[in-house]
Amino acid sequence: MTGSQPSHPFGEYVAKTLGYKKVAVFGTDYAFGYEVVGGFQRSFEEAGGQIVQKLWAPLGASDLAPYITQLSATPTRPSSSWSRPPRSASRASTGTRACSGGSR
């Protein structure tokens, strides 16, 4: 499984079930973050949605407020799909979080 696969259903759900047409996305600036956002973007756009903004937080950033405030300044409510690396290098799993919103 790739990092994009789990977020494919989420993009379609946001477009078709929630009815959002434009969203902004937020991810962590590393390969897995790009994969997660890419999966969402592909299925969201295939379902007729449009990504109006992408923001990337540096890997290891603990203060996400500057990025969240940029999302709220967009002409649409944000839809974010983001991932972060483990807090400890000894942890094997990667945390993933996602939330939705946007314009209908």
Q: Using the predicted structure, report yes or no on whether residue 37 has a pLDDT greater than 50.
A: yes
**Quick one: pLDDT at residue 72?**
61
Q: What is the pLDDT of residues 87-101, one digit of tens each?
A: 443 333 333 344 444
Q: Nearest Cα to 6, choosing from 97, 75, 88?
A: 97
Return the domain boundaries, the chain.
5-86+94-99
Pairwise CA distance, residues 48 & 39, whole Å: 15
**Quick one: pLDDT at residue 26?**
87
Strands (E), the chain: 22-29, 50-58, 80-84, 95-99
Q: Using the predicted structure, report yes or no on whether residue 11 has a pLDDT greater than 70.
A: yes
Q: How far is CA 33 from CA 27, 56, 68, 78, 96, in A?
A: 5, 8, 16, 17, 9
Percent of the chain's residues with pLDDT above 70: 68
**Quick one: pLDDT at residue 86?**
41
Query: Please, which residues have CB within 8 angstroms of residue 19's CB and are 6 or more apart in sequence?
Result: 104
The CATH architecture of the domain made up of 5-86+94-99 is 3-Layer(aba) Sandwich (3.40)
Q: What is the pLDDT of residues 55-89, one digit of tens each?
A: 999 998 989 888 888 876 656 554 545 444 444 43
**Quick one: pLDDT at residue 15?**
93
